[in-house]
Amino acid sequence: MRKQIAAANWKMNLTLQQGEQLLTHILAAAKPSKQNHQVVFAVPFPYLAMAQERISGMAGTFIAAQNCSDKKSGAYTGEVSVEMLQSLGIRFVVLGHSERREYFNESNRLLAEKLNICLENKMQPIFCCGEALQIREAGTQNEFVAQQLKESLYHLSGEQLQQVVIAYEPIWAIGTGKTASSAQAQEMHAFIRQQLAAQYGATVADSISILYGGSVKAANAVELFSQPDVDGGLVGGASLIAEEFVAIISALK
């Protein structure tokens, strides 16, 4: 049975003290309730050690970095390597968020490199994909997402792909309060799974968790997560509010 995942993406928000308080509240109120449920917190780099310590010994709860370098080590001032993350016990890395693609020019090809270095080091990528509004309006979102998958993922073996979590985040729904309808989310998630099945076979495709991201909140999580191909969410704004994220965790199917 594939994993159902509630993943918080704090982005560049909160002080250390605020982050600690938020984690304390959420962890006290919500625990993954089923064997196949996972809760992930993608926190800013300086808070990784604190967060990792907070979740230590908690089943099904993990910390993620929001990015990593495509290089192993060396003279890359300001970068953070997978090996460093690993030495803290970090298990997941968010890769290819639309904000990194847009503001830091991350290309499908660079993301393929980052995926490689993560997988070589047993770090699980949460690979983000998704189209901008003008692509949705032109009706070419399937082609666009298929290209993102092809250029960043299809060099991987089936076994490697099974370590990847995919997050579909339509850019027009991120931070806008405008959520994709559950039908729109299901349609794209089914399309992504179908693409993976064509490339890797149905068994591999069926085992991959595909999360939805874009204005997920307590009020819409149950409806979104109830869709057959939506395996949880990657949550920005609502993950910064303890009661919201606790409700989102309990909306996992």
Among 19, 32, 44, 213, interactor with ligand 13P by CB under 6 A: 213
Question: How many other C-beta atoms can be found within 10 angstroms of the C-beta atom of residue 11?
Answer: 18
Q: Residue 131, interface with ligand 13P (CB under 6 A)?
A: no
119 or 174, CB closer to ligand 13P? 174
Q: Residue 97, interface with ligand 13P (CB under 6 A)?
A: yes
Give yes or no: 169 in active site.
Answer: yes
Among 106, 169, 229, 231, interactor with ligand 13P by CB under 6 A: 169
Contact mark string toward ligand 13P, 226..245, x via CB under 6 A: --------xxxxx-------
Three-state SS letters, 181-232: CHHHHHHHHHHHHHHHHHHHCHHHHHHCCEEEECCCCHHHHHHHHCCCCCCE
Contact by Cβ (8 Å): 225, 179: no
115 or 248, CB closer to ligand 13P? 248
Catalytic residue (one of 131, 169, 189, 244): 169
141 or 200, CB closer to ligand 13P? 141
Catalytic residue (one of 97, 106, 189, 244): 97
Q: Residue 214, interface with ligand 13P (CB under 6 A)?
A: yes
The Cα 24–Cα 235 span in angstroms is 18
Q: Residue 247, interface with ligand 13P (CB under 6 A)?
A: no
The Cα 96–Cα 36 span in angstroms is 25
Contact by Cβ (8 Å): 192, 154: no
DSSP secondary structure letter of residue 72: S
The Cα 22–Cα 246 span in angstroms is 11
Q: Which residues bind ligand 13P (CB under 6 A)?
A: 9, 97, 169, 174-175, 213-216, 234-238
Active site (catalytic) residues = 97, 169
